[in-house]
Amino acid sequence: MKGNAMTPESLDDLFSLAGRRALVTGASRGLGQAIALGLARAGADLAITARDAASLGDTAAQIRALGRAADCLALDQRDADGIGAALEGAGAFDILINNAGVEEICPSENVTPALWDKIVDTNLKGAFFTTQAVARGMLARGRGAIVNLCSLTSFVGVPTATPYGSSKSGLLGMTRALAAEWAPRGLRVNAIAPGYFRTEMTEVFYQNEAWANQMLGKIPQGRFGRGADLVGVAIFLASDASAYITGQCIGVDGGYLASI
């Protein structure tokens, strides 16, 4: 960047990620893939993760076609003890996008310890220890931008989604706590709360036509979200354009939260 964060020479400088390296978890498909490709278009080189590194081939190919580097890493966020080892040797990162997550609808009276652990360990515990592993290098260099993928359930209760909502509410709390702790050391920690997005992971819910129509009626913009809807806000929070923003969660929901 030719100028600095306060006096950029152009809007391109302000939003540019050129010369920066980002880690995006859960990037084999869906929202993670869309965000990874968006960061690459903004100039970042990428390391991308999934439980099975082979599943990252399509994302990596698209990133490389944009002229950016793409390293594929096997990372299971349910294995908190193995996260450090999985990232060892991966190099330094300027940006972390905590996107990996799982969701499973279940009446609360039927939730088992195994289901609770599967969801909370992936979405919250795993996100924390991934952040910890990456942030050590950021803290040593005195700079870094971390973006967590929260949810509407970080703010509102959704029936039959208690483990998921608990994990995403916890992730919002984690975002704020880390932002307060690490701001004096040059790190920014923010979050994005997607609304109702139709992805491979959530497609099973949208197959219920009555449910889908009910949800659509609650969204003022009158449509479900698409992966591209998250790209701009992810670039914003990862770039110098948001240099004085930390501890915030931006809803990307077509006006849903504003209307309830």
Mean pLDDT of all residues in 6-28: 87
**Catalytic positions, please?**
164
SS (H, E, C) 160-207: CCHHHHHHHHHHHHHHHHHHHHHHHHCEEEEEEEECCECCCCCHHHHC
Q: Are 14 and 87 in contact (CB under 8 A)?
A: no
Residue with tokens 């289901």: 115
* The pLDDT value given to residue 7: 56
Band (pLDDT 50/70/90 cuts) for residue 1 is very low
* The pLDDT value given to residue 8: 54
Mean pLDDT of all residues in 38-66: 98
Strand order in the sheet with 45-50: 70-74, 45-50, 21-24, 95-98, 144-149, 187-194, 249-252
* The pLDDT value given to residue 93: 98
Please tell me what DSSP assigns to residue 243: T
For 11-252, CATH number? 3.40.50.720
**Cβ atoms within 10 Å, residue 14:** 18
CA distance 131 to 117: 19
* The pLDDT value given to residue 228: 95
Residues 121-133 pLDDT 10s: 999 999 999 999 9
Mean pLDDT of the chain: 94
* The pLDDT value given to residue 165: 97
- Of the candidates 64, 189, 79, 176, the one whose C-alpha atom is nearest the C-alpha of residue 134 is 189
SS (H, E, C) 65-97: HCCCCEEEEECCCCCHHHHHHHHCCCCCCCEEE
> In this structure, what token pair is assigned to residue 144?
């870094």
Q: Indicate whether 3 pLDDT > 90.
A: no
Give the phi and the psi of residue 101 in degrees, each rounded to 5: -170, 165
21 has which bridge partners? Answer: 45
Residues 164-222 pLDDT 10s: 999 999 999 999 999 999 999 999 999 999 999 988 878 878 888 998 999 999 999 99
> In this structure, what token pair is assigned to residue 51?
């439980």
Q: Indicate whether 137 pLDDT > 70.
A: yes
Band (pLDDT 50/70/90 cuts) for residue 48 is very high
Residues 63-114 pLDDT 10s: 999 999 999 999 999 999 999 999 999 999 999 999 999 999 999 999 999 9
What b/e sequence results for 32-42 when a residue is b if at least 16 CB atoms lie within 10 Å of its CB, and e otherwise?
Answer: bbbbbbbbbeb
Band (pLDDT 50/70/90 cuts) for residue 9 is low
